[in-house]
Amino acid sequence: MSAKVLVVSGSARMESNVHGVARLAADAVRAAGAELLEHHLHQLQLPVMEPGSAAQAALPAVRELRGAAAWADGFILITPEYHGNMSGCLKNWFDYLYPELAGKFAGVIAVTGGGGGDMSITAVKNTFAWCHGFTLPYHAAARGPDFEDGRLINPVVRERVQRIAHDVVRYAPLLRQAFDAAKASGAGVESGVAGAR
């Protein structure tokens, strides 16, 4: 069973350490034999989400965002830490989604100026859970000094990012298969979270 993985680079900045981590994660996803899509949020140029807006739903960027999320079994979500939280553009990405993330699996990585990344990682994991998704029980955080010219050079953090990619490729299709089967069983208690509203 080949996995489909979407790597989301959650920085609005062009010259960005987050994008450096996204490149490393994408290489590891490919090495693990999965199909890959990458979304760099500084390129998607999404407007701030307006609930129920038909005009926004018709935008090419929004269609692409939702289509890729629906396609993916698993995600690698990389956020810069902003004021102890995920970036606004990554939160905005989440706000366009919900059913596309339910029953899916994600690995989470933070890039910080110097902090430990726990706050932004927790924020991303919580938001993914609120969309009925599941996350890896470990994560990775890279600080400013771990980079050289936008490339992640700290070997310990590099290994952790690659480990996350392999686990997302390994577990995401299994979870999706189980979730889809549960959903097909209806909305009774036996369907668990798949049948819950």
Ligand X SMILES: Cc1cc2nc3c(=O)[nH]c(=O)nc-3n(C[C@H](O)[C@H](O)[C@H](O)COP(=O)(O)O)c2cc1C
Task: State which residue, 75 or 82, has the beta carbon closest to ligand X.
Answer: 82
Task: State which residue, 34 or 124, has the beta carbon closest to ligand X.
Answer: 124
Interaction of residue 44 with ligand X, rule CB under 6 A: no
Site for ligand X in 129-158 (CB under 6 A): 144
Can you tell me the distance from the alpha carbon of 161 to that of 16, in angstroms, rounded to the nearest whole number?
17
Q: Which stretch binds ligand X (CB under 6 A): 10-18, 42-50, 65-73, 171-179?
A: 10-18
Q: Which stretch binds ligand X (CB under 6 A): 96-104, 108-116, 165-173, 178-186?
A: 108-116
Interaction of residue 111 with ligand X, rule CB under 6 A: yes
Cα-Cα-Cα-Cα dihedral of 159, 172, 61, 46, to 10°? -60
Can you tell me the distance from the alpha carbon of 53 to that of 40, in angstroms, rounded to the nearest whole number?
23
Can you tell me the distance from the alpha carbon of 119 to that of 21, in angstroms, rounded to the nearest whole number?
18
Contacting residue, 4, 5, 6, 16, with ligand X by CB under 6 A? 16
Interaction of residue 197 with ligand X, rule CB under 6 A: no
Interaction of residue 92 with ligand X, rule CB under 6 A: no
Buried b (16+ CB within 10 A) or exposed e, 17-46: bbbbbbbbbbebbeebebebbbbbbbebeb
What backbone torsions phi and psi does residue 15 show, to the nearest 5 degrees? Answer: -90, 100
Report the interface residues with ligand X, using CB under 6 A.
11, 13, 16-18, 80-84, 111-115, 144
